[in-house]
Structure formats: C-alpha cells, structure tokens
C-alpha cells in the first residue's frame, strides 16, 4: 500500500537477510529466524515487526509459536510500479550520460572528468 514503508523496510541489510531466509524456508518461527544471527532475539523481533508493518511478512500464531510467512507482493509492486519506469528510459538516460561525459561542454573551457561513471559499477 505505502511504497515508502516498503522501501524503508528494505533499506536494512538485516531485514533483507530475514526475507532471504523466509524465501529459503517459509513459515519459520522467531527463534528459528534468530539462529546464527549476531543479534538479540528482541532485535530480530523488531525487524520482523517492521517487515510485518510493511506487509512483507504475515504472521500466524500456532500455540506459543509465531510463524512468519513471506509476502512477495509488495516487492513485486515497487519493482513493477516504480523501478520499471527507469527501465523504460534506460537507454535514453545512458545516452544522455555518455554524451555529457564525452562532449566537454563548449561554453566552459575547463571540463573536468565527471564524478560518476557511465557503466553501472
């Protein structure tokens, strides 16, 4: 629903790792997701709460255990709705970039090398 919440939720590497874990095995409990992470259970719980608020995971209580399920829809949504538009203009943007880098801009005599690179890393 709220793109910003999803983007912010994805901004943290630990949270992305949690999503990766759920992608590997869905329906894990909090304790299972904690295993092997250099973090407190409470820290993981906070991350999961943020992911849940962003609707990236849904939870289901099963007795005293809380199972976590991945919801891939919001990820897909921002990929389609926001990122895709950059794919459309991609060729043109790269052309602009390259042109700007090659032509030393006649009006000014001193033309430094640009701070970014045309190739993506």
User: Rule CB under 7 A: is residue 120 a binding residue for DNA?
Assistant: no
User: Rule CB under 8 A: is residue 81 a binding residue for a copy of itself?
Assistant: no
User: Rule CB under 7 A: is residue 40 a binding residue for DNA?
Assistant: yes
User: Rule CB under 7 A: is residue 45 a binding residue for DNA?
Assistant: yes
User: Rule CB under 7 A: is residue 29 a binding residue for DNA?
Assistant: yes
Give the β-pairing of 57-62 and 28-29. unpaired
Q: C-alpha 61: how far from its chain's center?
A: 27
Q: Which does 36 bind (CB under 5 to 8 A by kind): DNA, a copy of itself, none?
A: none
> What's the CA gap between 43 and 49, in Å, rounded?
10
User: Rule CB under 7 A: is residue 78 a binding residue for DNA?
Assistant: no
Q: Which does 19 bind (CB under 5 to 8 A by kind): a copy of itself, DNA, none?
A: a copy of itself
Contact (CB, 8 A) for 36 and 71: no
Contact (CB, 8 A) for 22 and 28: yes
Strand (E) or helix (H) holding 66 = strand 65-70
Q: Which residues bind DNA (CB under 7 A)?
A: 8, 11-12, 14, 29-31, 38-43, 45-47, 50, 63-66, 107-108, 110
């Amino acid at each position: 629903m709220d793109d910003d919440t999803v983007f912010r939720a994805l901004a943290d590497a630990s949270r992305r790792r949690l999503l990766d874990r759920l992608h590997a095995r869905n329906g894990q409990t909090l304790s299972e997701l904690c295993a092997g992470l250099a973090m407190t259970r409470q820290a993981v719980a906070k991350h999961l709460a943020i992911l849940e608020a962003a609707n990236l995971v849904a939870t289901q209580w099963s007795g005293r255990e809380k199972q976590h399920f991945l919801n891939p829809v919001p990820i897909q949504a921002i990929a389609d709705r926001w990122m895709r538009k950059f794919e459309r203009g991609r060729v043109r943007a790269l052309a602009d970039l390259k042109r700007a880098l090659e032509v030393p801009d006649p009006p000014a005599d001193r033309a430094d090398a640009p701070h970014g690179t045309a190739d993506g890393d």
